Amino acid sequence: MAGMMVAAGATVAAARRSVAAALRAARLDTPDLDARLLVGEALGLDHAGLAVAAARVLTADEARRIEAFATRRLAHEPVARILGRSQFWSLPLVVTRDVLDPRPDTETVVTAALAAIDARGPRRAVARLADLGTGSGAILLALLSELPEARGVGTDTSLAALGVARDNAGRLGLAPRAGFVACDYGGALAGGFDLVVSNPPYIRTADIATLAPEVRDFDPRPALDGGPDGLDAYRAIAADAGRLLAPGGLIVVEVGHDQSGAVVALFDTNHLARIGDPYQDFSGHRRAVLAQRQT
């Protein structure tokens, strides 16, 4: 494969064009954007730097680096994974193979939680929060960035994921207010949380094979697999939420597009009072379910 798309002696602009053409031919979604990001990463140049360097000729090393990145993208590896970084709630996050690449849809959980908190009074009323299945730390760190007086804990069964989340907290200056615990959802936590959030695995096991290769082959399986009906995590979390939450405490969970009814029912069964209708994401899917512990 080496040298098929980009050869030493080509210009930067020509390399971008040929990578974009190869990605387009493979029917990837955003070939021009991906080519710009991958060529930029290989050369250590941002958008403006790439434009300035357009007519520069590539060294053999540079051509090899571009080729290697393009080859990974052609194998459906998402650009965020190739770059090793992503963005969530405008926060820069490191992502590795051990964590889910945080999705824009998940920002709905943060928006919904903040709206519910603001509807009740000052944000400082939320002193303690927990993020169950924290992955890269995305939701926990976004909320800590918005709730400057809160402390939070993220849990995960993946030690590697917890390492990534801890590093992300450190890079964002949030480590003093963030703790990380290896356990099954809230299993190792004492109660008293004002807010519990979670984006747990919720894909039905049988549906995983049908997902896009970018997800199926690159997001960690434990981050996806929600059991036979996709609801295993919600059952565990709903059963434990009454213990974890302070009286009146809020719980906000992300759900799959057809799961909000089932999750509301699970919360009901566990004496968690639903707050409002499920919160919709930008595509109009019911994405976040909110409830509170009855006092």
Binding-site entries: 133-137, 156, 199-202
> Is there a contact between 19 and 35 (Cβ–Cβ < 8 Å)?
yes
Is the distance from CB of 11 to CB of 57 less than 8 angstroms? yes
199 touches ligand SAM (CB under 6 A): yes
Within 10 angstroms of residue 75's Cβ, the number of other Cβ atoms is 11
**Both structure tokens of 141:** 């760190």
- Name the minimum Å distance from CB 102 to ligand SAM: 4
Shortest reach from residue 88's CB to ligand SAM, in Å? 7
Closest contact distance (angstroms) between CB of 162 and ligand SAM is: 9
Residues written for the chain: 295
In the region spanning residues 133 to 152, those forming contacts with ligand SAM, defined by CB under 6 A, are 133-136, 138-139
Residue 230, interface with ligand SAM (CB under 6 A)?
A: no
Question: Rounded to the nearest whole angstrom, what is the least distance from the CB of residue 221 to ligand SAM in the complex?
Answer: 9
Closest of 288, 295, 263 to residue 114, by C-alpha: 288
**How many residues interact with ligand SAM (rule CB under 6 A)?**
22
- Residues in region 93-132 near ligand SAM by CB under 6 A: 100, 102, 106, 132
185 binds ligand SAM (CB under 6 A): yes
According to the binding rule CB under 6 A, does residue 184 interact with ligand SAM?
Answer: yes
**What are the tokens at 84?**
């090793």
CA distance 159 to 201: 16
The dihedrals phi and psi of 273, each to the nearest 5 degrees, come to -85, 125
CA dist 79 and 65 (Å) reads: 14
The residue among 139 and 288 lying less far from ligand SAM, judged by its C-beta, is 139
Per CB under 6 A, residues contacting ligand SAM are 100, 102, 106, 132-136, 138-139, 155-158, 161, 184-185, 199-201, 222-223
